[in-house]
Every structure is written in C-alpha cells, then in structure tokens.
Amino acid sequence: MTPPTNETIHPIGSAEPWKGLWLALLLAVAWAVPGRAQSTATLDSLYRAHRWLELDRALSRTKGQPLFRGAAAAALNQPKKAEKLLRSVIKAAPKSESAYQAHELLTHLYLQTGRYHQLAVDLKKTAAAFPDRSDVQAERGTLAPFLSLPNQAVRRNGLSSLRHQGDFFLPVVIDGHQATFFFDTGAGISAMGESEAKRLGLSIHETTGAIGTATTVPATFKLAIAKHLSVGGIELKNVSFAVFPDESEPWALLPPGRRGLLGIPVLLAFRELRWARDGSVEIGPNPSRRDGPGSRLYFDEDHLMVTADFQGEPLAFSLDTGAESTDLYSPFAARFPDLIRELGQRDSTEVRGVGRAERFESVSLPDLTFRIGGLETVLRPAHVILRDLGARGSLGNVGADLLEQGRAFRLDFDSMTLELESDR
C-alpha cells in the first residue's frame, strides 16, 4: 500500500452510475386485518429507508411480502433465495411496480456477483415489460459495457493459506501469468492498469464506460476478461476487469505486476477471508472456525456496508479495504453537532479516486472510539469531510486503519459478518 499521511486512498469505488433504482413501492391496502396492515406498513417503511438489517429481523416475525423478503436476501448476500423470491414477484404481475422493483434489485444482485450475462437477459426483459420508462432505457445505456460480458463462475473453492507483506496484496495467477493484486471491498468490479492487462496477455475491449469513484468525478474504463483466475486453491473463470489508463492513480504509483485489484465479485467467491498481522491470509470457507462477536455486513446499492457502534449507537458505514484511512462524512456531523462544535478544528482532506484527487473542506477531531467487529478501535485523528460522499445512510467509510487495529480481521460473506480479533 502507498502510505499517505493525511490522505485517503480509494483506488476504485463501487459502480453506481444509474439513478432511480429504488422507487416508491405501490402496495395494496391491507384493510381487512388491522394487525396485518400495521405489519405491512412497518415493513414498507423499513424497505423504503433501506434499513435492511431491521427489515430482515422484522421478517423473521411475520410472513411478509416476497418483494420485501427478496430485498432482504439480496442485501444479505443470499443470491439463490433472493433470485427465487424476486422472480416470483415478476411472474405474479410482470408489468406491476413491484415487478419493476424486483428487476432493479436483480440488477444490483447480478452486478455484485459478476453474473453479467444474466444481467443482460434481465435488462432486456425489463425493457420489454416497461417500454415507456425513460429510466429503463437510460439504465441500459449506462450498463451497456457490461452486457456483453460472460458470467463469472467458480471452478474450485477450498480453504487456502497465503502470505502477505504487511499490506492487502494477494498472489494471483491470471491466464497462467503471476501477479500480486490487492483486495478491495470498495470496488464493484475488479480492475487493473492498461499495461498490466497487456502484460497478462488479456484482450482489451474497445467499448468504454464510466464508473463511480471515491471522488465526485467518474472515471472512464475499458474491459478485459480473464478466462482463468486463481488465488491459492480458489479457481474462477470468466473474471471481468475494468481497465484504466496507466497514468491514473493508483496504477501510476505501483510497479508492474501489482497494478490491479480484486473487487467484490471475486471476494464473494472466496466466501471468507482472514487477514492477520503475522503475515498470514486465509481464504475460503473454514467450517471449523467458530463465529465470535462481530459486526453485521450488508449490501446497499452495490456498497458493502458495516455496522459500528459509537457512543452506544449502531451506525452504518461503507467498508473499503482499498482505503488507507477512515473518513467520516457530513451525515456524521449532522448526527453529532455538539461534538463537532466543541472539539472540531477546520481542516481539509484529500480524497483520491481513480484518475484524480479532490480536496474537501473538513473538520478534524482529536480521536473517536468505535466498536467494530467486536473490538474497540480508535480513529486518531478523525477527519469529518463536510460532503456526503457515501452510500445512502452511510456516515463514513471504514478503511484499513481501523481494520488493522486487531491482530486479525475476518470477512465472512456467508454469515455476512466482520470480526476483529483482539491481541489479548
């Protein structure tokens, strides 16, 4: 990793180029049974607010509608369950608003899991069912570069032990060529520099697209497909990469062989990842490992989110292993105005995305304590950027500086939990 002092490095953010994916849900009024009406209203409120963990808990106490259950399953990385439920919504009333919502949830699900062919098929069905909706046509145009890509698939998965050099880089083999790429939970697609793609013998598609980054300016990219990718004993096929110009960050700061990252579709295929300060990394499911106290993970509009406690309150943050440092955003300042007023000092913070850096007005606080992954962590100093740069409902972006405060951290994508292990 490149060690800045007061800078935040976000090599690439999750793709979020389209708007309007979460429109208001039109529900039939459940007037016959007052208790059911109240329950439906509660579920609808949680759904509209993207409070996925609360929605999942509420659904455990009631049957709920398939759309709500499908949305919760998608947020908690249960793709088979989510797809079954959402397809039942579409089948029941193909041209309804609920069906449109189900299609949009499937769009996010297919992007997260790298099922691009399935994405193309579903977008075609959406356009046929809703020919007069301009947002459907705009979405197809924005996602056009992805629609010719194949589905990523797992050929082999098993527990593997690797070594790291004090950073988040992992050894990979791509189409028979060795490289060392870092794992980035803030990236909606794996990525690399153009010269790296050529070094690995990949064909670069000429179709270009734009992807959201940690800054306010999207970055343009091309695409390449690795027919085979292996990390330890895990083997994948048809892994898609966004390809960026070499002169853009972070590729310009990295030597050949290290100009790439593994994004969410690949990391979900690992199912589990444990990184330790002693230099060890384990990837793949470990059935003998017992779950400890941890923080819940979930997806919201292609962002991986984590809950962290601050002053006894559970707060939502995006989780970004591609960021060197943790930043807080303007919703945090709005939530804790007294803290900002009493301890804050005016400052500015630089945020780097692919291709450029931006400096934002911020407030610096001496230190803040967050309980994350079952461990007390200290953010010192804490930078509160006075812009809302994160996902909906996110109060900030958790980076490597907090994750590395435990002797190890573990990402379990089956149970959707983050655990930080104490030194004691």
Q: What is the pLDDT of residue 213?
A: 59
Terminus-to-terminus CA distance in the chain, angstroms? 27
In 340-394 the beta strands, taken as DSSP E runs, fall at 345-353, 356-365, 368-372, 375-379, 382-385
pLDDT greater than 60 at residue 31: no
Whole-angstrom distance, CA of residue 268 vs CA of residue 414: 9
Full set of structural domains in the chain with CATH: 34-142 (1.25.40.10), 153-283 (2.40.70.10), 290-421 (2.40.70.10)
Q: Quick one: CA dihedral 40, 42, 48, 52, positive or negative? A: negative
Encode pLDDT of 146-169 as tens digits. 999 999 999 999 999 999 999 999
Q: What angle do CA 381, 384, 389 make, to 5 degrees?
A: 135
Q: Which residue would you say has higher pLDDT here, 315 or 301?
A: 315
pLDDT greater than 50 at residue 23: no
Residue located via tokens 């039942």: 88
pLDDT greater than 80 at residue 354: no
Between the CA of residue 51 and those of 54, 97, 161, 391, 392, what are the distances in Å?
A: 6, 20, 36, 13, 10
| 315 SS3 class | strand
pLDDT greater than 90 at residue 40: no
Q: In this structure, are residues 186 and 176 in contact, taking their beta carbons and an 8 Å threshold? A: no
- Reading the block at residue 215, the tokens are 């800054």
Whole-angstrom distance, CA of residue 170 vs CA of residue 157: 16
| 63 SS3 class | coil
- Reading the block at residue 48, the tokens are 């509209």
